[in-house]
Structure 1
Amino acid sequence: MKKKWLSILLCGAMVAVVATGCASKTSSQKPGDKPSAEISDVKAVDQKKVFVPANWVKSVIDGKQKESENYIIIEASWGKAEEDKAYTKAHIPGAVHLNTDEIEEDKYWNIRTGEEIAKVMKTYGVTKDTNVIIYGGDSGATRVAFVFLWAGVENVKVLDGGLDAWTKAGYATKDGIETAKATTKDFGLKVPAHPEYVLSIDEVKDKLANNKNFRLVSVRSIDEFEGKKSGYSYIKRAGEPKGAVWGHDETDYRNEDGTFINFDKAAAMWAEQGITKNNDIAFYCGTGWRATIPWLMAYQNGWTNVKLYDGGWFVWQMDEKNPVQAITPQEAAAKYK
């Protein structure tokens, strides 16, 4: 019951609510609501801008951006390349597959050690100066993007809308498997270069107890937050860490065409729950995938007060001494208003 089960459960939930990534052809954005990653005339983008459109990625491949000189495109998802039918059937030309098992240990699904991640970087030919473009059909792509930033890669992008956005733009795909080219170069920094991006369970407990400005933000479904279900076949207990507030689920961060919502809309969702830019924020979910979406959004928009509680509900519920809540988002947010 590894990530495959998580992927099945998440995909099932997403299909039940909205069609994302590789399905819907209709945008839910209102007229005049500029997509979060829209870039006119395929101009250059800031290094901290994470979400980018398909035409920008194509311009990199065509040699029209500064990133064109040193880049890698990664399709990130759970499982080996030969088992990933979506990748072997159609991927962006030049894209290599990265199995999320390579960046997560297999007990709690937390990020592997800095030494292990440094080896992954070498395997994929990545140094801190490599321009990394990542895409995928679910939040596995944002999970990998987060890990690369945590490691110290200075320019990490996520294709907004995934492969569906690429094909809808009329760009060609390739089948089969492409192999990453390893490098002998040093990464250039000690991995992780940004350990401050991640909070441990002990740090979360301390902040909940002693920091009134701290917000532990759950990025899980409403039924998960209210304790009606655990959300995972391998997690028996339901509920949330006591003191958590609701940051909405992954589906709420996506338009119907699979692209990500405008940041102003995300910030408004958080504000309704008593979460603002002035808070000390840690996003979490079940095992660390979904929570990377709002983290990347906040990072891209200059919020420096955001962390990822990597252990999530999975680690929290393992110790029955850890306090748990099963309340509504309104009840959770009331204490902060």
Structure 2
Amino acid sequence: MLIKITAITALLLTSTVSFANPATSLPTATFAQLAQQQSHKTPLQIIDCRNSNFYNGWPEPQQQRGGHIAGAVNIDTSWLKTLDTSAFKTLLRDKHLQSTLPTYLYCSADKAQQLSTALQAQGYKSLTTIDQPLNLYYGQLSALPNFQQLVPASWLNELINGKHPRYAPKHGYKVVEVEWGPPAKYLLDHIPGALYVNTNTIESEPWWNKVSNTALAKVIANLGIRYDTTVILYARNNMSAARFANFLMYAGVKDVRLLNGGWTAWDNAGYPTEHLPNYNQHPVAFGEKIPANPQYLIDTNQVKALLKKPVNQQSVVSVRTWPEYIGETSGYDYIKPKGRIEGAKWGHAGSDSYHMQDYLNPDQTMKSGAEITAQWAQWNIKPNQDVAFFCGTGWRASEAFFFAHILGWKNISVYDGGWYQWSANKDNPTAEGTVTPASVH
């Protein structure tokens, strides 16, 4: 991302705490030197090559503050292990990075060296590392407003091992794996202590909407979850975990968290697993009337009412592939009609109904907030609006909803019925064909 940032006015420490540099180390700079370069108002770019959780706002070990330098883009060096040359080129293009600009890398020296080698192979010549830990940066750091609700695997590992990590639960916690169908993969391997939820117990036919409030309350009670229980959710594909997160927030659970990167993050970290199933032995009373937050789920009539508002005040967001949005495919073998809700804005998604690449980093963690916000803003989807997300039956929409929550958006919801229920009634207005953001009404 091209940035032009004014000088940091706060006092910057000029002393350095250097990482151990390899023999072929890159030129290094301090934060003060970076600020001096920024004060010249010449174009430059900063790559934060740390883990995305630190970029989002979680402090690194032995550091007090988390987040990232304003304007920095996130490319975790560890992603290189899964990217071929073509995919890496695409990543750089999507990040709007330019090989001709002076580029500053911030992460540990070994990670910076690995990334610089990959960048040099793509023609990047002016590369410099920031040779100080982040606690010596005295400028304003950027962080996601609700980053605590998107937890790192390392944080969860500390929690389940009896430690007291930052932002620890205050009233007990439950870890829950959420998947469709019987617990086949769960019984092979799961996070220690994790309970299991089959989405068939929280969704009902024919539209795969939320079950009745009574049935939902029973599922929640059987898991041992009260309104003040911290619930940490994950899945093999986090869409299903986000679906349950939306339902729990609707019910009134005050502290719902998602494992950033889901099962992939836990597996990549090499943390212990278990295969014996876990059950909550004692159902509990929720402690509040369900739903405490009915605004998080809306129905067809509410969508129609929303669409009557001026386009700058509302967004009904289609979290579906572009071919689904323009009516080339329905996206599902059990949904026959093609097209979109008339007036819906395109919210991006991924390659098909089971993937969300437009929202995820190569390691399946949440893409940077700036990138998600920018792709929404292109379609006039903005945080000051009333925003309702939908997809086919709610899973992709729920992941977009939860990320909007992490971004601090307030007036957000999921249209539970999605395209499946909307398109089943021929009286509901639909549209097909290519459209530009400016022509959506």
Residue 367 (structure 2) pairs with residue 261 (structure 1) = yes
Correspondent of 1:79 among 181, 185, 196: 181
3-state SS of 1:291 partner: helix
Q: CA deviation at 1:71?
A: 1.2
Aligned to 1:22: none
3-state SS of 1:93 partner: coil
Aligned to 1:37: 53
What CA distance in whole angstroms lies between the structure 1 residues aligned with 2:402 and 2:391? 14
3-state SS of 1:317 partner: helix
2:438 partner amino acid: A
Alpha-carbon spacing, 1:281–1:121, altered in 2? closer, same or farther (3 Å): same
Alpha-carbon spacing, 1:266–1:35, altered in 2? closer, same or farther (3 Å): farther
> Contact 1:47–1:154 (CA<8 Å) still a contact in 2?
no
Alpha-carbon spacing, 1:326–1:216, altered in 2? closer, same or farther (3 Å): same
- What TM-score comes out, normalization by structure 2 length? 0.65
Aligned to 1:16: none
> Contact 1:111–1:147 (CA<8 Å) still a contact in 2?
yes
Aligned to 2:387: 281
Alpha-carbon spacing, 1:206–1:69, altered in 2? closer, same or farther (3 Å): closer
Alpha-carbon spacing, 1:190–1:55, altered in 2? closer, same or farther (3 Å): same
3-state SS of 1:67 partner: coil
> Contact 1:218–1:225 (CA<8 Å) still a contact in 2?
yes
Alpha-carbon spacing, 1:252–1:329, altered in 2? closer, same or farther (3 Å): farther
Alpha-carbon spacing, 1:69–1:47, altered in 2? closer, same or farther (3 Å): farther
> Contact 1:198–1:308 (CA<8 Å) still a contact in 2?
yes
Aligned to 1:98: 197
Identical positions, percent: 37
Residue 306 (structure 2) pairs with residue 202 (structure 1) = no
2:398 partner amino acid: T
Q: CA deviation at 1:177?
A: 2.1
Residue deviations 1:54-76, cap 9 Å, x none?
A: 01111211222342861111110
3-state SS of 2:315 partner: strand
What CA distance in whole angstroms lies between the structure 1 residues aligned with 2:149 and 2:347? 20
Aligned to 1:305: 411
Residue 320 (structure 2) pairs with residue 216 (structure 1) = no
Q: CA deviation at 1:260?
A: 1.2
Number of matched pairs: 302
Alpha-carbon spacing, 1:34–1:147, altered in 2? closer, same or farther (3 Å): farther
Q: CA deviation at 1:274?
A: 1.4
Correspondent of 1:325 among 431, 436, 440: 431
2:48 partner amino acid: G
3-state SS of 1:153 partner: coil
3-state SS of 1:270 partner: helix
Aligned residue runs from structure 1 range 47-196, under 5 A: 49-65=148-164, 66-67=168-169, 70-81=172-183, 84=184, 86-138=185-237, 139-183=239-283, 185-196=284-295
1:334 partner amino acid: A
What CA distance in whole angstroms lies between the structure 2 residues aligned with 1:291 and 1:33? 29
2:281 partner amino acid: K
Alpha-carbon spacing, 1:36–1:278, altered in 2? closer, same or farther (3 Å): farther
Q: CA RMSD in A?
A: 2.2
Q: Runs (4+) of structure 1 moved beyond 6 Å?
A: 42-48
Q: CA deviation at 1:308?
A: 1.1
Alpha-carbon spacing, 1:48–1:92, altered in 2? closer, same or farther (3 Å): same
Alpha-carbon spacing, 1:35–1:301, altered in 2? closer, same or farther (3 Å): farther
For the pair shown, which has the larger CA radius of gyration, 1 or 2? 2
Alpha-carbon spacing, 1:291–1:219, altered in 2? closer, same or farther (3 Å): same
Stretches of structure 1 lacking an aligned partner (at least 5 in a row)? 1-29
**RCO higher in 1 or 2 (8 Å CA, sep ≥ 6)?**
1
Q: CA deviation at 1:164?
A: 1.9
What CA distance in whole angstroms lies between the structure 2 residues aligned with 1:47 and 1:272? 23
Alpha-carbon spacing, 1:33–1:313, altered in 2? closer, same or farther (3 Å): farther
What CA distance in whole angstroms lies between the structure 1 residues aligned with 2:435 and 2:151? 32
2:391 partner amino acid: C
3-state SS of 1:133 partner: strand
3-state SS of 2:203 partner: coil
What CA distance in whole angstroms lies between the structure 1 residues aligned with 2:147 and 2:367? 18
Alpha-carbon spacing, 1:35–1:152, altered in 2? closer, same or farther (3 Å): farther
> Contact 1:274–1:336 (CA<8 Å) still a contact in 2?
no
Q: CA deviation at 1:130?
A: 1.1
> Contact 1:216–1:283 (CA<8 Å) still a contact in 2?
yes
- What TM-score comes out, normalization by structure 1 length? 0.84
Residue deviations 1:136-171, cap 9 Å, x none?
A: 012101111111111111111111111221122221
What CA distance in whole angstroms lies between the structure 2 residues aligned with 1:309 and 1:187? 25
Q: CA deviation at 1:134?
A: 0.7
1:56 partner amino acid: W
What CA distance in whole angstroms lies between the structure 2 residues aligned with 1:170 and 1:61? 15
